């Protein structure tokens, strides 16, 4: 009797499971000051910033909410958004206008600039376009305490002049106020 009751309950759970609401993946976090809460709308993968008063603004669209990383400068004037998947990541920089409103900084191609610096430092090579194509990971690892320098890391593989190129854990720094990249 107990066995048939257990089997009936299991059968009912299996039968009605598709009717249960799916759990939404929740991608969210807070800025260091906790003034800004960020969240991804699962309906359209839009990244939103909301302040403590409830005012919100859309920052950007993201491709992989589960792998999303936001790295705020100490004064929250800047934020790097690292987005991507297992085949690679990219970074975008945003500068605060006011409150929760940030604008994308488009003056720099972080992918090209970090690859160019890495190949100059590690191989003495000059490039004019990105060469790391597969499994390219670019990330903002943090900021200096004074907020003047962002720490970027790069890893990836590609080809240059028919030869395999591999960068593993190259570290550089970026000053957004001056637009300056430097090796560490």
Q: Domain boundaries in the chain?
A: 27-64+76-104, 107-183
Q: What is the pLDDT of residue 67?
A: 83
d(CA 31, CA 101): 14
Q: What is the pLDDT of residue 12?
A: 37
Q: Which runs of E-coded beta strand occur in the chain?
A: 28-30, 36-41, 46-51, 56-61, 69-72, 78-85, 88-98, 101-104, 132-143, 150-160, 163-175, 180-183
Instruction: Tell me the pLDDT of the chain (184 aa) as tens digits.
Output: 444 433 343 333 333 333 333 323 358 999 999 999 999 999 999 999 999 999 999 999 999 888 899 999 999 999 999 998 878 888 999 999 999 999 999 999 999 999 999 999 998 998 989 898 867 899 999 999 999 999 999 999 999 989 999 999 999 999 999 999 999 8
Q: What is the pLDDT of residue 112?
A: 92
Q: What is the pLDDT of residue 19?
A: 33
pTM, two decimal places? 0.81
């Amino acid at each position: 009797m107990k066995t048939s009751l257990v089997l009936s309950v299991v059968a009912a759970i299996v039968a009605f499971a598709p009717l249960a609401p799916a759990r939404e993946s929740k991608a969210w976090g807070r800025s260091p000051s906790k003034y800004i809460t960020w969240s991804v709308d699962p309906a359209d993968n839009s990244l939103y910033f909301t302040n403590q008063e409830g005012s919100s603004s859309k920052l950007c669209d993201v491709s992989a909410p589960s792998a999303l990383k936001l790295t705020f400068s100490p004064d929250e004037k800047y934020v790097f958004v690292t987005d991507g998947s297992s085949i690679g990541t990219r970074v975008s920089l945003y500068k605060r206008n006011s409150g929760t409103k940030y604008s994308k900084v488009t003056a720099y191609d972080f992918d090209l600039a970090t690859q160019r610096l890495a190949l100059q430092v590690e191989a003495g090579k000059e490039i004019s376009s990105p060469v790391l194509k597969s499994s390219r990971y670019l990330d903002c690892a943090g900021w200096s305490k004074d907020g003047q320098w962002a720490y970027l890391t790069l890893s990836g593989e590609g080809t240059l002049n028919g030869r395999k190129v591999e960068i593993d854990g190259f570290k550089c720094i970026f000053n957004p106020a001056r637009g300056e990249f430097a090796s560490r």
